[in-house]
Amino acid sequence: MPDTPAHGVRRETRLLLVTIVISAAMLFLLARLRFPEQPSGAPQPPTQPLERLAASATYDELASILRGVDRQVSSAILTVSTAPDSETAEDAGTTYIPAVRIAEDSAVALPGSSRRIVPQPGRIEVVAADSPHGIALLRVPSSDAASIPRLAVLDTLPEAPGYLAAIEATGNGPAVRPLYFGRLDRVSDRRWKEPILRFSALQQMLPAGAAVFTLDGRFIGVGFPDDRAFLVVPAVSLLAEAEQLGLRGSVPAADLGIEVQPLDRALRAATGSETGVVVSYVNPGGPSAGHLQAADVITSIGSTSMQSPADYAAALTQLAPGAPVTIDVSRAGIVTTVTVTPVARGSLSSSGAGDLGLDLRAVKGAGSEAVRVAPRSAAARAGIHVGDLVTGIGSNDAPDPAEVQDAFKKAAPGDHLILRIERGSIHLVMALTK
């Protein structure tokens, strides 16, 4: 019997219902595969808007904490300016660091061994400076509003990873920012009797001289960057050293009158030495002249073995000007020991080239190449860089080193000499002022 219209409608309805049920089952199955069921007690992940709100709240809370630290310690912090010492070329220019009050009218700062505090009449007076340790004891104005920060107990510092507050200085005054660290270690350093703190896996590096506080405003110490970590001299060590400085006065840094560089694979093969540092320059007027020469490998200074230029810098902090020291040297495979008497840093002229301050090597038919530029010399002020080729001086083309030196020597004070320079593919003209 042929289907009636009513029978056809019922069949189409059944097919539609079956299709809906199958589709719903498939959607449910896909949903279970894509989003597995969580146990009833398991925390549910927040949605992205909630995550953003939580992050915003966290940053706002941290900013509020830092503002609280700033209010607590601001009266204990002064901004001081530093300048390069007489032998440093890399750190040219004025920088600012914080000084932390340790008494009503005194403060301590860590400018480093290569810089000095610039006194400010009526405000900042340098009582004494220990150049080997890079610390300065300052006399500062007393004030009813001034405070002395509480010292942190190192055993109670937050575990890594964690946050601390760092105070650095700008030309407009101190500034506070968070210091996130992923690891905290205590390490030994030849410059300090007690271990210092090494904060690594940092979110941002701090500048040298920055002061570090806990988030409740307790003074941890002052530090300096080292490789990819920030080393902090604990406040207790700083206060002990400042007290000694007040009693004995300033301690000058020692200078052997040489420059060194690390041993690389090629230099190991060429010198036959596996450990040590290579002498790259000997000041002709310095204490090492006649004892050391370029390409010597220094294996130890006194009782300190040399593995890197950092070891050499640390060894200098243990030397005293005027006190002889033995140096073990390997020269062309022959090991010998020499005795050198260090002088106070700053007492040597920067170069054997007089106040020109330029060591050159002849480039046949082209001129003279700069192999060393002394800090704050006439050559440095003119803007000459190591590697620059002097192709002319005055009317003299392709001058050899002796001709460059002679032209400068014959110039009267205040005279200007025109240099023609090649720097890679760039040609420059510079004014050399005597």
- CATH class in words for 354-433: mainly beta
* Domain limits, the chain: 51-250, 254-344, 354-433
Q: What is the pLDDT of residue 232?
A: 97
> Are 246 and 128 within 8 A, CB to CB?
yes
Mean pLDDT, rounded, of the chain: 86
- pLDDT above 90 covers what percent of the chain? 59
- CATH class in words for 254-344: mainly beta
Residue 42 has pLDDT above 80, yes or no: no
Give the model's confidence band at 273: pLDDT under 50 very low, under 70 low, under 90 confident, else very high.
very high
**92 half-sphere exposure, CB direction, 13 A CA radius:** 9
**What is the distance between the alpha carbons of residues 266 and 1, in angstroms, rounded to a whole number?**
103
Residue 87 has pLDDT above 50, yes or no: no
Q: What is the pLDDT of residue 293?
A: 93
**What is the distance between the alpha carbons of residues 30 and 36, in angstroms, rounded to a whole number?**
10
One fold for 254-344 and 354-433: yes
The mean per-residue pLDDT over the stretch 308-324 comes to 89
Give the model's confidence band at 67: pLDDT under 50 very low, under 70 low, under 90 confident, else very high.
very high
Least confident residue range of 79-88, 137-146, 230-239: 79-88
SS3 57: helix
Q: What is the pLDDT of residue 34?
A: 54
0.75 exceeded by the pTM? no
Q: What is the pLDDT of residue 288?
A: 96
**Which tokens sit at 371?**
């192999």
SS3 409: helix
The mean per-residue pLDDT over the stretch 169-198 comes to 92
The mean per-residue pLDDT over the stretch 415-421 comes to 92
Give the model's confidence band at 347: pLDDT under 50 very low, under 70 low, under 90 confident, else very high.
confident
Task: Judge residue 65's burial from the number of C-beta atoms within 10 Å of its C-beta, 0-12 exposed, 13-18 middle, 19 or more buried.
Answer: middle
Pairing of strands 297-301, 304-305: antiparallel
SS3 189: coil
> Are 387 and 414 within 8 A, CB to CB?
no
Which is higher by pLDDT, 87 or 231?
231
Which range, 60-69, 283-292, 322-331, is most confident? 322-331
Q: What is the pLDDT of residue 4?
A: 55
- pLDDT above 70 covers what percent of the chain? 86
The mean per-residue pLDDT over the stretch 259-265 comes to 92
The CATH code for residues 51-250 is: 2.40.10.120
Q: What is the pLDDT of residue 52?
A: 53
Q: What is the pLDDT of residue 124?
A: 95
